[in-house]
Amino acid sequence: MPMCARAARLSVPSTRQFLCSRACPPSSRRPIINPRFSSSLPTPSSASAPSHSSPAPEQQLPRTIASLLHPGSAANTTTTTTTTTTTSTSTVTTSTTDARSDQPDIGIDVGTGTGTGTGNGIGADSTNVTVHGWIKSVRRMGKVSFASVTDGTTSTPLQAVLAKPQVAGLSTGSSVRISGEWKQSRSGTVQQNELVAADVQLLGGADPATYPLQKKYQTTEYLRTLPHLRPRIPFNAAVLQLRSFMSQTLTSFFAENEFVQCYPPIITSSDCEGAGEVFTVSSNEKGNGHFFRTPKYLTVSSQLHLEALAAALPRVWTLSPTFRAEKSDTSRHLSEFYMLEAELSFIETLDPLLNVTEDMIRRLVSALKTSRIGQDILALSGDMMPELEARWEGLVQPGGWKRLTYLSAIEVLQAAEEQGKVEFQFPARWGESLQSEHEKYLAGRYGPVFVTDYPREIKPFYMLPSHGDARTVACFDLLFPVVGELIGGSLREHRYEELVQNMRSHGLISGDGDAGIEQSGLRWYTDLRKYGSSPHGGFGMGMDRLICYLSGVGNIRDVVAFPRWVGRCDA
């Protein structure tokens, strides 16, 4: 589909046509590399630039194990491929290339050999290399020993062959530097290549008597007591890489669609959602009143500030930490989580919002499927989650995701119960929030499903009434299988009088006149409706919930490195 048709599908007014990364010459995307790290800078201007001599080994970035086991494919890049995703109304064509071909050599320590090859290091025979990592296990076999070494960048550890004296002091968890020859494996069973060590340095020991991550199965509950150590488990390291990949891909998606990434504040003066579930910020200085003169809070959503920024730029987005003091002790709730939020000006219906969110996730999953980190996640989740790949496929199937109104959703839920297909703990009733069991039923039945136009009484003050029905508001929740609500969004009330009226009815403004608005701390927000207001809308996505779904991890506490939830803030 031509780019102009894609812009039309999103129906977002465009300052100019949407840009694809393909439209940018590779040279314009070339990162600037600090010459101190670089042994060669093949930039177009390098011929005239003063030449830098090769940095000494200690000035170079140590090489990763991935660069040895998978030369030519960084974890966060996809191999050259073209992915076409068709939704009911659009075709999104994404062309991605191995980013390494675009990037200068950043002075990775590849030793004296070539360090090149394909697949599992084949072709890199007899190359002198140095690797760093942590010992996963050591097998002592008479004269030689085999050490599995990992640095979290690969799904399988590197195998090093060590002579007896070189093994002294090495145990699970210890950190090492090993130099030697990267040779075709003699046994060929574990790995096609292995590192035959010439020099082994123990950087930091790990007492086998006390190291908590011994080579045996540990429960997720136990691992949660060790948030500082559990990233060393290969799957947890892969989840860290997955998050990084997602952030990078989403950043590209928004850039290509002319969204500007913004950095709204973390300390805020109001509770955006009006639910009162805020953490208050205070200084530890006693007796001088409030640091900011009045109580301030950690943000529960960047939406209101993004609305101000979207009144200056047509499309903005952010990926920010978000804090909620809700005492929800569930597998889907954290007290500190990352929310991806976007705000779009000049839109009059929900469709562009729904289209952007659907395209965003389809684009992300398409890229994940062909990335090395995607393959690593599949390899590592293996037996625990054999259906993971099918789960990804389900998200990029042709045909748009189901869209239905709240009213239709209630009818579907009631009919299902009447027909004995399901028994809910809480019957579905118009005017009440959908329970998690309802959301799961709908997502189980339809796959990802947008539910729109909820009753106004159960939604926040800032939502615009639905077109032609004042009882409901123009909002949506995107429900996903397993994780339930993934995204919430709406059109915003952009008319001054109506907004102030909503704020009064929601108890945010007390009394008549301007004094109440001043007291609410939201004068600035209402001002936006006085000066150049326009129809607009936006959404917020729970990043950690999406990571759960894409990685197959059942509990949100296990995809966040240092999770915080009610009663727990360890490390």
Binding site for ligand 4AD (CB under 6 A): 272-273, 301, 303, 324, 326, 333-334, 337, 339, 341, 485-489, 538-542, 544-545
Which residues, 474 to 493, sit near Mg ion by CB under 5 A? 488
Q: Which of 379, 393, 366, 382 is nearest to 78 (CA)?
A: 366
Give the number of other CB atoms < 10 A from CB of residue 509: 23
Q: Which does 486 bind (CB under 5 to 8 A by kind): Mg ion, ligand 4AD, none?
A: ligand 4AD
Q: Which is nearer to ligand 4AD, 303 or 452 (CB)?
A: 303
Calculate the dihedral angle through the C-alpha atoms of 396, 400, 404, 410, rounding to the nearest 10 degrees.
-40
Residue whose token pair is 């170079």: 60
Q: Supply the minimum distance, in Å, between the C-beta of residue 340 and ligand 4AD.
A: 9
Nearest residue to Mg ion on Cβ basis:
488
Looking at beta carbons only, is 448 or 488 nearer to Mg ion?
488
545 contact choice in Mg ion, ligand 4AD, none (CB below 5 to 8 Å, kind-dependent): ligand 4AD
Residue whose CB is less far from ligand 4AD, 160 or 546: 546
**Closest residue (Cβ) to ligand 4AD?**
542
Report in angstroms how near the CB of residue 444 gets to Mg ion at its nearest.
19
Q: Which does 323 bind (CB under 5 to 8 A by kind): ligand 4AD, Mg ion, none?
A: none
Nearest to 547 by CA among 300, 311, 400, 334: 334
| Largest interatomic CA distance in the chain | 88
Cβ 338 to ligand 4AD shortest distance, Å: 8
Nearest residue (CB) to ligand 4AD, 438 versus 545: 545
Out of ligand 4AD, Mg ion, none, what residue 107 binds, judged by CB under 5 to 8 A for its kind, is: none
Cβ nearer to ligand 4AD, comparing 76 with 270: 270
Closest approach, Cβ 438 to Mg ion, in A, equals 14
CA dihedral 273, 274, 278, 282 (to 10 degrees): 110
Helix (H) or strand (E) holding 175: strand 175-184
- Closer to ligand 4AD by CB, 129 or 479: give it: 479
Task: CB nearer to ligand 4AD: give 339 or 378.
Answer: 339
Residue with tokens 């042994």: 39
Residue 263: closest CA among 334, 335, 345, 321: 321
Nearer to Mg ion, 107 or 488 (CB): 488
CA atoms within 13 A on the CB side of 21: 19
Q: Regarding beta strands 402-405 and 449-452, do their DSSP bridges make them parallel or antiparallel, or are they unpaired?
A: parallel
CB of 334 to ligand 4AD, least distance (A): 4
Q: Taking the complex as a whole, how short is the minimal distance between the CB of residue 279 and ligand 4AD, in angstroms?
A: 12
Tokens of 157: 């550890």
Task: Give 337's strand partners.
Answer: 322
Q: Is 377 or 449 the residue whose CB approaches Mg ion more closely?
A: 449
The first and second tokens of residue 121, run together, are 């290091």
Binder of residue 337, out of ligand 4AD, Mg ion, none (CB less than 5 to 8 A by kind): ligand 4AD
Binding-site residue total for Mg ion (CB under 5 A)? 1
- For ligand 4AD, give the closer residue by CB, 134 or 549: 549
Q: 132 and 150 in contact (C-beta within 8 Å)?
A: no
CB of 488 to ligand 4AD, least distance (A): 3
CB of 561 to Mg ion, least distance (A): 25
Provide, rounded to whole angstroms, the least separation between the CB of residue 530 and Mg ion.
Answer: 28
Q: Pick what 301 binds: ligand 4AD, Mg ion, none; C-beta below 5 to 8 Å, kind-dependent.
A: ligand 4AD
CB of 365 to ligand 4AD, least distance (A): 17
542 binds, among ligand 4AD, Mg ion, none (CB under 5 to 8 A by kind): ligand 4AD
Q: Are 305 and 555 in contact (CB under 8 A)?
A: no
The interface partner of residue 333, options being Mg ion, ligand 4AD, none and the CB cut-off 5 to 8 Å by kind, is: ligand 4AD
Contact partner at residue 489 from Mg ion, ligand 4AD, none, CB < 5 to 8 Å by partner kind: ligand 4AD
Cβ atoms of 314 and 15 within 8 Å: the answer is yes
User: Quick one: 326 or 389, whose CB is closer to ligand 4AD?
Assistant: 326
Between CA 350 and CA 361 the distance in angstroms is: 17
Q: Which is nearer to Mg ion, 121 or 488 (CB)?
A: 488
As measured in angstroms, the least distance from the Cβ of 175 to ligand 4AD is 34
Cβ contacts of 25 within 8 Å, gap of 6 or more: none
The neighbouring-strand residues paired with 340 are 319, 541
Q: Which residues contact 256 (CB under 8 A, 6 or more apart)?
A: 18, 19, 20, 21
Exposure b/e, 223-249, CB count within 10 A at least 16 = b: bbebbebbebbbbbbbbebbbebbeeb
Query: Residue 84 contacts by C-beta under 8 Å, 6 or more apart in sequence?
Result: 91, 92, 93, 94
Name which of residues 514 to 553 contact Mg ion (CB under 5 A). Answer: none
Q: How far is the CB of 303 from ligand 4AD (least distance, A)?
A: 4
Q: Are 337 and 543 in contact (CB under 8 A)?
A: yes
| Among ligand 4AD, Mg ion, none, partner that 272 touches (CB below 5 to 8 angstroms by kind) | ligand 4AD
Give the Cα separation of 372 and 326 in Å (integer).
37
Binding partner selected for residue 233 from ligand 4AD, Mg ion, none, CB under the kind-specific 5 to 8 Å limit: none
Q: How far apart are CA 523 and CA 460, in angstroms?
A: 17
β-bridge mates for residue 484, sequence order: 480
Cα 475–chain centre separation:
24
> In the bound complex, what is the minimum distance in angstroms from residue 339's beta carbon to ligand 4AD?
5
544 binds, among ligand 4AD, Mg ion, none (CB under 5 to 8 A by kind): ligand 4AD
Nearer to Mg ion, 317 or 392 (CB): 317
| Dihedral, CA of residue 272, residue 409, residue 434 and residue 487, to nearest 10 | -40
234 belongs to the binding site for Mg ion (CB under 5 A):
no
DSSP string, 307-351: HHHTTTSSEEEEEEEEE------STT--SEEEEEEEEEES--SSH
- Site residues, Mg ion (CB under 5 A): 488
